């Protein structure tokens, strides 16, 4: 009785291999400071867990509106931006109309499309990981399409696509979702346009700045667009503990977030330089909290050897255009050093 759409679907592979040094999911590697954890506990103790949470997350939206500098009416919250990606795939266009993505990119766009039975219009990136505009326009010429997802910066290639190319595609009539999950590490945004246009929204998340565990995704868009998409949101999609924790951390933990981001940016630079001079490795530029690199030998083997050494990175070598590529999250200083040490060991062994 289960649908063909569902049977054809492959479940999203989350990396669960245990490893002492986990650099595979682009999380913030720092724990919240003890004082902040105490504040969180204090607030959680007071929470009425027998009651439903605020369905509109009013107080949290107030805090987020201050954090992002936009009006609360321009915000829609999801149980992670994953949920918002799913909502947008339902809300924009008709199901027989395609969803455009440059690939490789974040898998959730394709999964949402497949689940809804929407055609996937996927165009391989150029060798420099930018959008292939000509190939994209040509495909859009022949196929009906209403929605596009742009991971900006792109996961897993770590670069920002050319802004003008996104704009050209949007001008072809594509509602454009700009997924700025790594905004704090790139500092580039479509926010201004999202606030005034009917065909552009921006996605943010707390997952990459220290709160992956509480699943808070944020859509920023024009008030009318937010109000429409809000109609299909599940009533209590943000749990009470998540609302409470996010409020505390985004009011009392701003310094922690800011310092963490700047530490990661410094570490990114150091890690990039080290990989850049490592024999048998080619590292690509990054505007995010992770680095993509190519090994001159079988990346699959490098990945497995690294696990044996206690270091987990993400194997992305099966993706189109990413032969022998691995993705490593920027970790704490000592984690990055250990990763570099183990990687050069493995490379010496296998080269």
Ligand X SMILES: *Cc1c(COP(=O)(O)O)cnc(C)c1O
Distance of CA 252 to the CA centre of its chain: 24
Please check whether residue 82 is in contact with residue 176, taking contact to mean a CB–CB distance below 8 angstroms: no
Return the closest-CA partner of residue 303 out of 92, 12, 24, 2: 24
* Nearest approach, Cβ of residue 211 and ligand X (Å): 9
Stretch that binds ligand X, among 48-56, 77-85, 110-118, 127-135 (CB under 6 A): 77-85
Task: List Cβ neighbours of 41 (8 Å cut-off, separation of 6 or more).
Answer: none
- Buried/exposed code over 158-178 (b: 16+ C-beta within 10 A; e: otherwise): bbbbeeebbeebbeeebbbbb
Question: Considering only residues 148-207, where is the footprint of ligand X by CB under 6 A?
Answer: 151, 155, 179, 181, 205, 207
Task: Identify the residue among 53, 72, 93, 217 touching ligand X (CB under 6 A).
Answer: 217
Stretch that binds ligand X, among 38-46, 74-82, 158-166, 327-335 (CB under 6 A): 74-82
**For ligand X, the closer CB: 22 or 342:** 22
- Number of residues engaging ligand X in binding (CB under 6 A): 14
Does residue 27 bind ligand X (CB under 6 A)?
no
Does residue 329 bind ligand X (CB under 6 A)?
no
Stretch that binds ligand X, among 15-23, 75-83, 121-129, 221-229 (CB under 6 A): 75-83
Please check whether residue 233 is in contact with residue 87, taking contact to mean a CB–CB distance below 8 angstroms: yes
Does residue 81 bind ligand X (CB under 6 A)?
yes
Query: Contact letters (x/-) for ligand X, 221-260, by CB under 6 A?
Result: ----------------------------------------
In the chain, the DSSP E strands lie at 21-22, 75-79, 98-103, 120-124, 145-151, 175-179, 200-205, 216-220, 281-283, 290-295, 311-312, 314-315, 325-329
Q: Which two tokens stand for residue 111?
A: 């999964």
* Nearest approach, Cβ of residue 108 and ligand X (Å): 7
DSSP state, residue 155: T
Neighbours of 198 (CB within 10 A): 11
Strand partners, 293: 283, 326
**For ligand X, the closer CB: 173 or 320:** 320
Stretch that binds ligand X, among 78-86, 89-97, 219-227, 317-325 (CB under 6 A): 78-86
Whole-angstrom Cα distance, residue 40 to residue 104? 38
Does residue 286 bind ligand X (CB under 6 A)?
no
Does residue 271 bind ligand X (CB under 6 A)?
no
* Nearest approach, Cβ of residue 123 and ligand X (Å): 17
Binding site for ligand X (CB under 6 A): 26, 80-82, 106, 151, 155, 179, 181, 205, 207-208, 212, 217
């Amino acid at each position: 009785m289960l649908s063909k759409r569902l049977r054809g679907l492959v479940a999203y592979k989350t990396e669960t291999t245990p490893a002492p040094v986990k650099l595979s999911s682009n999380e913030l590697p720092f724990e919240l400071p003890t004082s902040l954890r105490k504040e969180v506990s204090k607030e959680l103790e007071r929470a009425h867990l027998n009651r439903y949470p605020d369905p509109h997350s009013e107080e949290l939206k107030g805090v987020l509106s201050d954090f992002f500098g936009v009006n609360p009416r321009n915000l829609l919250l999801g149980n992670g931006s994953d949920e918002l990606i799913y909502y947008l795939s339902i809300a924009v266009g008709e199901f027989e109309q395609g969803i455009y993505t440059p690939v490789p990119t974040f898998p959730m766009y394709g999964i949402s499309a497949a689940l809804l039975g929407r055609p996937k219009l996927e165009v391989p990136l150029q060798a420099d990981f930018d959008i292939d505009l000509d190939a994209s326009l040509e495909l859009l010429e022949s196929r009906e399409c209403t929605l596009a997802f742009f991971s900006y910066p792109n996961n897993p290639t770590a670069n920002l696509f050319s802004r003008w190319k996104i704009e050209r595609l949007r001008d072809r009539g594509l509602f454009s979702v700009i997924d700025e999950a790594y905004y704090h590490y790139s500092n580039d945004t479509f926010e201004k346009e999202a606030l005034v246009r009917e065909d552009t929204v921006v996605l943010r998340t707390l997952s990459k700045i220290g709160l992956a565990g509480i699943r808070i995704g944020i859509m920023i868009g024009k008030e009318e667009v937010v109000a429409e998409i809000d109609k299909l949101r599940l009533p209590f999609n943000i749990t009470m503990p998540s609302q409470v924790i996010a409020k505390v951390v985004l009011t009392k933990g701003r310094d922690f977030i800011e310092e963490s981001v700047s530490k990661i940016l410094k570490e990114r630079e150091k890690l990039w330089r080290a990989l850049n001079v490592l024999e048998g490795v080619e590292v690509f530029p990054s505007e995010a909290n992770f680095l993509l690199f190519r090994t001159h030998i079988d990346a699959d083997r490098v990945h497995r050897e690294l696990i044996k050494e206690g270091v987990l990175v993400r194997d992305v070598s099966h993706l189109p255009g990413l032969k022998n590529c691995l993705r490593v999250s920027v970790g704490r200083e000592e984690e990055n050093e250990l990763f570099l040490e183990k990687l050069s060991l493995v490379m010496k062994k296998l080269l």
